[in-house]
Amino acid sequence: MTIKNNSLIKGTYFPPGDKSISHRILILASQTVGKSEISNLLEGEDVLNTLKAMKILGANISKKNKKYVVFGVPPGGLFQPNKPIDFGNSGTGIRLICGLIASNNIKAKLIGDRSLSKRPMKRVTVHLKKIGAIINLKKDSYPPIQIQGNGEALPLKYNIIIPSAQIKSAIMLSALNIKGQIEIKEFKTTRDHTENMLKAMGYNIKVKEDNKYRYIKMINDKDLNSLNYNVPGDPSSAAFFITAACLKPGSKLIIKNMLFNKTRTGFISTLKKMGAKIKILKKKKVNFELVADLKIEQKKYLKPIILEAKDVPLQVDEIPILSIAASFAEGKSIFKGLKELTVKESNRLLLIHQNLKKMGVNSEIKGFDLHIYGSNNLKKGGANIVHHNDHRIVMSFYLANLICIKNNIIRDKSCVKTSYPSFFHHILKYLH
């Protein structure tokens, strides 16, 4: 589909179910005794691979009337898999379930596709080995993961230096089968969906913060309660449409039922600093998660931004589309401390830089900082976009066509099925 550079974004938009929450609710519901019902689950490939993994590990999961029904197995009751568990391209799925297995007395081989086999796992497994899990990796860091869990693991204290919700959640999932108290200290705040879900399921968990650290205390003294859970709209998916609307003065977009967790909405603050007119219509809490409706009504071009490294973890998945926004903002934008982007589905830092240059935007990488020299002029476009099957690179540079004289060329866009299968359908619906 060709995008005209005079197109605007208009309509009432319901984002697909949140990807991070979809992974976690499937895993945690599979650790309860009883029946859980999940609505608005993201049916992207990554999440469906997590679903398949939990079925292999003993959960009974079926779809009825657009809802997923889960009958779980309690902590310590995971089934011994009779084949390798394939996670495709899902870094979240393989890391979280590695944590779950680590404290269960089973042996498993966790595999993935070519891209996943190049993503570092040691950052997670180094913590899981502390509870006695035996873990072997390719070249000491990469999948496949061979893991023998320790069903008699003892509680520990953890200091997490790398700001990663996946590391933290893997440790927390391992704690579900460890009697006693586990303590986790985070040096930077990361996504807290696992904590919120555990609270909603009646787990004994306490969270405290000060100016430097975030402290999590888990006491495993009772079973998780089953629950009915409606997955809120994914802000990382919505970010593409929100940013696109902010790019084009005259756009008007209403967002419904979007997750508004403070660890996921850093990009909203960034866009506002750039001059975006984003209004929160209403907020409510459901299962300890904040959900909101938003309104975007853009009248002016965006301004450049300096994004500090400390703010990157709260919007790490949105950097690709924010880079498109920066390219259409008059002046120099700097995104600092983007090291984490180099170990995503691709080296996103490098691909953003290379593809911006191809479509006529001056850009530089200095260390792990990205400098973008933007302007309100249309870009030449017509670039052959290199994406290495990274869904967020594909979606970002597809929407970049809104500001290009000639549409960029993107071959094989199927990787968007990873997180947003209905992406192109939604573009047709909201472009005017």
Q: Are residues 225 and 256 in the same domain?
A: no
Q: Are residues 186 and 280 in the same domain?
A: no
Q: Are residues 204 and 240 in the same domain?
A: no
Q: What is the pLDDT of residue 43?
A: 96
pLDDT digits (tens, 9 = 90+) for 371-422: 999 999 999 999 999 999 999 999 999 999 999 999 999 999 999 999 999 9
Of 212, 230, 248, the last residue of a domain is 230
Q: Are residues 254 and 402 in the same domain?
A: yes
When pLDDT is cut at 50, 70 and 90, the band that residue 188 belongs to is confident
What angle is formed at CA 294 by the lines to CA 289 and CA 300, rounded to 5 degrees? Answer: 140
Contact 407/381 with Cβ under 8 angstroms? yes
Of 230, 261, 286, the last residue of a domain is 230
Q: Are residues 421 and 286 in the same domain?
A: yes
Is 311 part of any domain? yes
pLDDT digits (tens, 9 = 90+) for 270-303: 999 999 999 999 999 999 999 999 999 999 999 9
Q: Are residues 242 and 211 in the same domain?
A: no
Is 3 part of any domain? no
Look up the CATH number of the domain holding residue 412. Answer: 3.65.10.10
Q: Are residues 203 and 241 in the same domain?
A: no
List of residues 6+ apart from 126 with CB closer than 8 A: none
pLDDT digits (tens, 9 = 90+) for 203-252: 999 999 998 999 999 999 888 999 999 999 999 999 999 999 999 999 99
Phi and psi for 80 in degrees, rounded to 5? -70, 120
Is 32 part of any domain? yes
Is 2 part of any domain? no
Is 273 part of any domain? yes
Phi and psi for 58 in degrees, rounded to 5? 120, -10
Comparing CA positions, the residue from 2, 111, 16 lying closest to residue 56 is 111
Q: Are residues 225 and 253 in the same domain?
A: no
CA gyration radius, the chain: 21
Is 279 part of any domain? yes
Summarize the confidence of residues 325-346 as an average pLDDT: 96
pLDDT digits (tens, 9 = 90+) for 94-153: 999 999 999 999 999 999 999 999 999 999 999 999 999 999 999 989 999 999 999 999
Amino acid at the residue 430: Y
Of 186, 207, 230, the last residue of a domain is 230
When pLDDT is cut at 50, 70 and 90, the band that residue 254 belongs to is very high
pTM of the model: 0.93
Contact 331/354 with Cβ under 8 angstroms? no
Is 58 part of any domain? yes
Check whether 33 has a pLDDT greater than 90: no
Contact 397/382 with Cβ under 8 angstroms? no
Which residues are designated catalytic? 317
What's the total number of domains in the chain? 2
Distances, alpha carbon 309 to alpha carbons 58, 268, 317, 338, 364, in Å = 41, 16, 14, 7, 17
Q: Are residues 130 and 236 in the same domain?
A: no
- Which two tokens mark 11? 């309509």
Q: Are residues 177 and 326 in the same domain?
A: no
Summarize the confidence of residues 200-204 as an average pLDDT: 96
Contact 240/170 with Cβ under 8 angstroms? no
pLDDT digits (tens, 9 = 90+) for 50-92: 999 999 999 999 999 999 999 999 889 999 999 999 999 999 9
Contact 309/315 with Cβ under 8 angstroms? no
pLDDT averaged over every residue in the chain: 96
Is 1 part of any domain? no
Q: Are residues 95 and 139 in the same domain?
A: yes
pLDDT over 70 percentage in the chain? 100
Q: Are residues 357 and 217 in the same domain?
A: no
Its domain, for residue 390, covers 10-15+232-430
